[in-house]
Amino acid sequence: MRDRILRLWRFCQTPEGLKIVRYTMVSVISALTSLIILTFVYGVLRLWSEVFSTLFANVMAGIPSYILNRRWVWGKSGRSHLWREILPFWVMSLTGIGFALYTATLAHNYADSHHLHHLARTALVVGANVAAFGILWVLKFLILNRVFAQIADAELHEHEPQEMS
């Protein structure tokens, strides 16, 4: 057990391990942001339905998630590239949000069929949101890691001196 913990600790010190740790921290920050917004707009203020509240909370949490992932996880600075960075991030984010909306709809239908009171409905919606994003977490990391690695490679090749024939 001690050897496994030591190996994990050493891996976390590598560039790839550090990237995963940072990505995890951004995911925690994003999830907490989403859950706080969702609990507030649905649970406390009762502004919208479960589905629209889930959509709003996750879109709002996506903004700091993009910025933190871009700068802290993948070390990018300067202007974002629309087609290479923003679009892939938001396509994946909206796919995740779509899955979260699906689970929110399931939570809504379950709550209606079981006549749950508002506190239980809120817990169910928040739980469905956590489950949806937990399922997609690893897939999103793998895809974003590949996208940002390709961008870094492309930028590296742009700055290489050209050979003269």
Per the structure block, which two tokens stand in for 27? 């995911």
In 3D space, the residue among 5, 20, 31, 13 whose CA is nearest the CA of residue 133 turns out to be: 31
Residue 99: inside a domain? yes
Helical segments of the chain, H only: 2-13, 15-38, 50-68, 87-113, 118-158
Residue 19: inside a domain? yes
Compute the average pLDDT of residues 138-146: 71
pLDDT at 147: 67
Q: SS3 for 1?
A: coil
Written as one letter, the residue type at 155 is E
Residue 165: inside a domain? no
Compute the average pLDDT of residues 127-147: 76
CB 97, CB 59: distance < 8 Å: yes
pLDDT tier at 48 (50, 70, 90 boundaries)?
very high
Give 3-34 pLDDT, tens digit per residue. 888 888 898 888 888 888 898 899 899 989 99
Written as one letter, the residue type at 163 is E
Give 98-133 pLDDT, tens digit per residue. 888 898 889 989 999 999 999 999 899 888 888 887
Residue 164: inside a domain? no
Residue 125: inside a domain? yes
Compute the average pLDDT of residues 129-154: 72
pLDDT at 137: 75
Residue 27: inside a domain? yes
Neighbours of 94 (CB within 10 A): 15
Domain range enclosing 118 = 2-158
More confident residue, 6 or 135: 6
Give 58-113 pLDDT, tens digit per residue. 999 999 999 998 999 888 888 888 887 888 888 888 888 888 889 888 998 999 99
pLDDT at 150: 67
Residue 163: inside a domain? no
CA-CA distance, 46 to 39, in Å (whole number)? Answer: 9
Residue 75: inside a domain? yes
Q: Note if the pTM is more than 0.75.
A: no
- The number of distinct structural domains making up the chain is 1
CA-CA distance, 101 to 112, in Å (whole number)? Answer: 16
pLDDT at 157: 62
CB 61, CB 31: distance < 8 Å: yes
